[in-house]
Chains A and B, each alone.
Chain A
Amino acid sequence: MQQSFFFQAMIYLAAAVVMVPIAKRLGLGSVLGYLVAGVLIGPAGLKFIGMEGQDIMHFAEFGVVMMLFVIGLELEPSRLWRMRKSIAGLGGLQVGVTTVLVTGIAMLFGIGWKEALALGMIIAMSSTAIVMQTLAEKGWLKTVAGQSSFAVLLFQDLAIIPMLALFPLLADHAGTADGHGGGSLVSALPAWQQAIVVLLSVSGIVLTGKYLLRPVFHMMARTGLREMFTATALLLVVGIAVLMTSVGLSPALGAFVAGVVLANSEYRHELESSIDPFKGLLLGLFFISVGSSIDFALVTSKPLLIIGLVAGLMALKMAVLFVLGKIFEVRNAQNFIFSIGLSQIGEFAFVLLSFSVQEGVLGKEISDTMTAVVAISMAMTPLAMMVNEKFILTRFCLVSAGLQTSVRPSDVEEEDNPVIIAGYGHFGNIVGRFLRANGVEATVLDNDSDNVDFLRRVGLKVYYGDATRYELLDIAGAGRAQMIIIAISDEEKRLELIETVKKHFPNLHILVRSTNRNDAYDLMNAGIMHIYRETFDTSLRLGVDALKLLGHRAHEATRMAKTFFIHDERTLKHLSSIRNDEEYIHAARQHIEELEVIMQADREAVNLNALAGWDRKAEAETA
């Protein structure tokens, strides 16, 4: 069937748009929705797409690359270091034990040790895409199970490097080491030289990320064009993928390393929100292509073998994970989520399988069978998770899993600051410094890259980005924070940001800077309770000093100022309600009237209140 690109795009998008909401509504999660959509439009279903699903999958694997880049961004090296025990211990043991067991069992079935070892390593991998997506959707990322899963997945991602370096060594050199289409530039080199190239390119990424990228992003940010920033971010990830592929390495890992290197940079949140939509769509595409690539012909030709393999391998992985979970104190309910969640074979298996066929480690037949097994095991995961949630968790565990949030102290960093400050210029930075002096940490967003640059040089954690964007707020933790302090100087932007916050984060207290009276009226109309006119307090302080220089007593002048302050805030509220009625009609005349009213009331208020009490008291003492 000859199909245009647009026709294909339409099929994929339509399948996703139809199936994913249905799956979500049924409580199955988006991953299963995509997978089912893939099966439906694939060769086994409506046949809209044929075997080119495989090619699409290679393209869509790029979503996984982006996902790892984003995961890397969220992992500051220091946090990575704090998680070292879970990563190395839990992750290391999972990969090690699973590999050894699978290798052993494969050898029992009469497979040669080299192939068995390759299979062992392939099967030890779990699916970062499926697990992270599912955990995020259920809000379990911060639970013990979520953090442990993440640690294991991370170790697996790291384990890819030595594995990819090891696979050529496992190859029988009579194999098909060359002559394959996507061959890397270095595959002609002897194995140990390839290993060196691998190490060199990874360190290349680290150095580039550390020294080259920040000035580049800085420059892009200064252009003020948002799409240039997005383009640069995409270029970065694509560039890494190309580089990694050309030296025969996993692009996902390269992207992850670049992400970690950039995790400390001020552009982190902006990068994340630029990449996020692409990542989501590509991952969706990836899941669809996994669904469509399940070779039902192969499955029906030897159903028992494939079903047996899927069930056996998942059970084996689950058992290993469950025992390790026990050892590492992942408690009951959490341990079920952890071990069942990671029991599938991951998308890296596709990469490793094709790589090992290229390298001549595995035969085509084993590889084809395994591809089907991997895809089915991935499709089974959301189902297994659902069964787990519906039956096992409720029946065997007293505590609902979602409620059992992280109790483990050290290695899990909660990045949730209670306060978000948008705008860190001369206004915001005083608020920020004051809060900080009182032990309140704030997540700071500023869209002046020069300012961000300077503030970071003096050691503050400030992030570059346009705070009015939903994605950036979301990543900055707006869903969990208690308040947002809007201290940006642009009035329009402030109102825009208020709209976004009110719509998406009704949980936040909103404290807003305002330029003057008129601006304060607009903010009141926007329903804001906490409004701070930027010059009001300062002007009054100046007034107090003026009175003092004219001979007034300091305490009395200060009380006058406070009286004036309270009175003015009150008139502001009063006049804003009047103004609403005939807005814009007699604006100019009104303004003058307003001033008159204010000044008249000023005199009355000050005379009445400020020095009451003591005055009369003096009268009384003489009486």
Chain B
Amino acid sequence: MSKVLIQFAHPSHSKSNVQKTLEKYARKVKGVTFNDLYEHYPDLFIDVKREQQLLAKHDIVIFQHPFYWYSSPPILKQWQDLVLEYNWAYGPKGHALKGKKIFNAVSCGGGRDAYTSDGYNRFPVGQYLLPFNQTAYLCRMEYLPPFVVHETYTIEDYVLKAFGEQYAELLEALVNDRIDPAELAGVEYLNELFPH
């Protein structure tokens, strides 16, 4: 059994459809802690102690957020700056996060084909996430492929529902340690482990 911590960041939550649906499904999964960052720290004044304690208590961390300007909303950057302290998360004595898994669960307006060398976004999602990837590496964590929902502006309800179910399946599998590390190798998105 693993404990999963979702670090959720959405500054205009009331207007989001996709993220709200993912949240709804995620909150139903046992063993998952849903930490709504903007709700806890509306003025971006992050309680570092609390956040570090949360991290220590969990095995898998998920940054769940919309893919604003090819990255996360600002509170996640603020969170990294403040919480991932030297000699706690990284540095010669920083072993607090060692061996924990981490990945991003994002929602993008563009389609998957836009995130190719021919598409208008030119690079795959994974490349835009490189700073997260490297942060994880420096903190001695294992960075997994992202969970991605594309075309959020035109998404149909039944498709969105399917994504919600897929996300819940993924979380269930993570909690119950049912993800085979070998499977991860050939996968661009975690979605691919749970075909619908």
Contacts and interface: CB of A to CB of B under 8 A. Distances in A.
A616 B86 contact: yes
A439 interface: no
A277 B135 CA distance: 71
A67 B48 CA distance: 61
Contacts of B85: 612-613, 616-617
A559 B45 contact: yes
A613 B81 contact: yes
A619 interface: yes
Contacts of A613: 48, 81-83, 85
A623 B81 contact: no
Contacts of A623: 86, 91
A620 interface: yes
Given A613-B82, A613-B85, A616-B86, A562 B48 contact: no
Nearest to B90: A620
B81 A617 contact: yes
A498 B43 CA distance: 30
B91 A614 contact: no
B91 A612 contact: no
Nearest to A618: B86
Interface string A553-582: 000000100110010000000000000000
Contacts of B82: 612-614
Contacts of A559: 45
A507 to B, nearest CB: 24
Contacts of A566: 45
A620 B86 contact: yes
Contacts of B48: 609, 612-613
A563 B46 CA distance: 10
A620 B92 CA distance: 10
Given A614-B81, A620-B91, A562 B45 contact: yes
B95 to A, nearest CB: 15
Interface in B57-99: 81-83, 85-87, 90-91
B83 to A, nearest CB: 7
B75 to A, nearest CB: 14
Contacts of A620: 86, 90-91
Interface in B32-56: 43, 45, 48
A495 B82 CA distance: 41
Nearest to A563: B45
A573 B155 CA distance: 48
Interface string A581-623: 0000000000000000000000000000100111011011001
Interface in A498-518: none
A616 B45 contact: no
Query: In the complex, which of the residues B45, B81, B82 has the most CB atoms of chain A within 10 Å of its own CB atom?
Result: B45
Contacts of A616: 85-87
B45 to A, nearest CB: 5
B147 to A, nearest CB: 28
A558 to B, nearest CB: 9
A566 B49 CA distance: 13
A620 B91 CA distance: 7
A318 B45 CA distance: 66
A553 to B, nearest CB: 16
Contacts of A562: 43, 45
A619 B87 CA distance: 10
A619 B81 contact: no
A619 B82 CA distance: 14
A150 B45 CA distance: 54
Contacts of B45: 559, 562-563, 566
Nearest to A616: B86
Contacts of B43: 562
Nearest to B47: A566
A623 B85 CA distance: 14
Nearest to B80: A613
Contacts of B81: 613-614, 617
Contacts of A619: 86
Contacts of A614: 81-82
A379 to B, nearest CB: 55
A566 B91 CA distance: 30
Nearest to A559: B45
A561 to B, nearest CB: 10
A319 B91 CA distance: 87
Contacts of B83: 613
Which of B81, B83, B86 counts the most chain A CB atoms within 10 A? B86
Interface string B83-121: 101110011000000000000000000000000000000
12 contacts: A562-B45, A563-B45, A612-B85, A613-B81, A613-B82, A613-B83, A614-B81, A614-B82, A616-B86, A617-B86, A620-B90, A623-B86
Given A562-B45, A613-B48, A613-B85, 8 more contacts: A609-B48, A613-B83, A616-B85, A616-B87, A617-B85, A620-B86, A620-B90, A623-B86
What are the 7 tightest A-B residue pairs by CB atom distance, in nearest-first order? A613-B82, A616-B86, A620-B86, A562-B45, A616-B85, A613-B81, A619-B86
Interface of A: 559, 562-563, 566, 609, 612-614, 616-617, 619-620, 623
